[in-house]
Amino acid sequence: MPSPIIALFAIASALLRPHSPDQFRFVLYGDDRDGHDIHRKIVGMIEKEKPVMVINSGDLVKRGNNPALWKIFDDITGKLRKETDYYAARGNHDVGDPDFQTRFTAPISSGNHLWYSFDRGSYHFIGLAVDENTNYGPSSEQYKWMISDLDAAKAKSEHIIVFFHVPPYSIGSHGPNEDEQKVLCPIFSKYGVVAVLNGHDHIYYHTKRAGVVYIVSGGGGAPLYPCDPSEGAIDGDKWESVNHYIVFDVSTTNIHARVVRLDGSVLEEFDIPVSG
């Protein structure tokens, strides 16, 4: 049996060993908006999770044309953004900020910081601008870019994760979006998208439709909304009106999700299998 000192050294070496490009941790949260105290606490909790990247599902501030609110956002997220790649989807409350596309400097491989993509290992992430302010229909520049980007990712056999603000499926106050369900969701199923990550409704909601996992994470600080399962919940869905963030531990064959409330308790854990 190895000595305790040797055992401790082995553990420390494993912790310091660089992770495989296909084994990494990222965090999702969003709709922090005007809930600055809650946002600050969530960011502190996320920092302790030590993710390699963070995705914000949108509505980073309450009014995008107010520089003072962006200053508060920068104060809360500044340390986190220095330590990890930070990607954001533009929310409807963020519209009006002339500097949105230059606020976030995490590397992308394609797009324009409103709709864009990037790779991490064999995973391909696509961020879209989907709300009432931006055209995402089949004739739009964004849609045509998205199809081209999906074709390229599929050709490389990458696992695809998409994120944007307004969800196609939700049981919060905003409810589901039928236009997105008609225009976007068939595309996600066709291309084998693993998961679609959204915000907008200030709740947590997890569902699976036509082979794709859809997650609403809008509990970053803005006033919470009630959940109404009559808006379209199906068997197996999980929801809660709660401040939270979500930790995703990614491997070549699986994504493990852990949903964490503000008090540190775990709302749910689940796995999203991916093909090898």
Strands 53-56 and 24-29: parallel
What is the residue range of 195's domain? 22-273
For residue 29, being part of any structural domain is answered with yes
pTM given for the model? 0.92
Q: What string of DSSP letters covers 61-77?
A: SS-TT-HHHHHHHHHHH
Report d(CA 214, CA 230) in Å as an integer. 17
User: Starting from the edge strand earliest in sequence, which strands make up the sheet with 123-127, in order?
Assistant: 110-111, 116-120, 123-127, 159-163, 195-198, 212-217, 204-209, 238-240
Report d(CA 59, CA 165) in Å as an integer. 8
Residue 3 has pLDDT above 50, yes or no: no
Radius of gyration of the chain (CA): 18
Q: 3-state class of 268 per DSSP? A: strand
Give the H or E element holding residue 271: strand 266-273
For residue 256, being part of any structural domain is answered with yes
What count of other Cβ atoms lies within 10 Å of the Cβ of residue 171? 25
pLDDT tens per residue, range 14-42 = 333 334 577 999 999 999 999 999 999 99
For residue 17, being part of any structural domain is answered with no
Task: Show the DSSP H helices in the chain as ranges.
Answer: 4-16, 36-49, 67-83, 100-103, 141-155, 178-183, 185-190
Residue 224: name the closest of 236, 235, 216 by CA: 216
* Residues in contact with 121: Cβ distance below 8 Å, sequence separation at least 6, in sequence order: 20, 21, 22, 23, 24, 250, 252
Neighbouring-strand partners of residue 117: 110, 126
Neighbouring-strand partners of residue 161: 125, 195
DSSP type of residue 160 = E
So what's the pLDDT on residue 17?
A: 34
Residue 126: name the closest of 135, 117, 114, 115 by CA: 117
Q: What is the CATH number of the domain that holds 149?
A: 3.60.21.10
User: Starting from the edge strand earliest in sequence, which strands make up the sheet with 85-88, in order?
Assistant: 85-88, 53-56, 24-29, 244-250, 254-261, 266-273
Instruction: Tell me what the mean pLDDT of segment 8-13 comes to.
Output: 36
pLDDT tens per residue, range 123-151 = 999 999 998 889 999 999 999 999 999 99
So what's the pLDDT on residue 1?
A: 37
For residue 7, being part of any structural domain is answered with no
So what's the pLDDT on residue 52?
A: 97
For residue 120, being part of any structural domain is answered with yes
So what's the pLDDT on residue 275?
A: 79
Tally the domains of the chain. 1
- Band of the pLDDT at 5, cuts 50, 70, 90? very low
For residue 6, being part of any structural domain is answered with no
So what's the pLDDT on residue 13?
A: 35
* Residues in contact with 215: Cβ distance below 8 Å, sequence separation at least 6, in sequence order: 28, 195, 196, 197, 198, 205, 206, 246, 257
pLDDT tens per residue, range 73-123 = 999 999 999 999 999 999 999 999 999 999 999 999 999 989 999 999 999
Neighbouring-strand partners of residue 211: none
Average pLDDT, the chain: 92
pLDDT tens per residue, range 30-79 = 999 999 999 999 999 999 999 999 999 999 999 999 999 999 999 999 99
For residue 60, being part of any structural domain is answered with yes
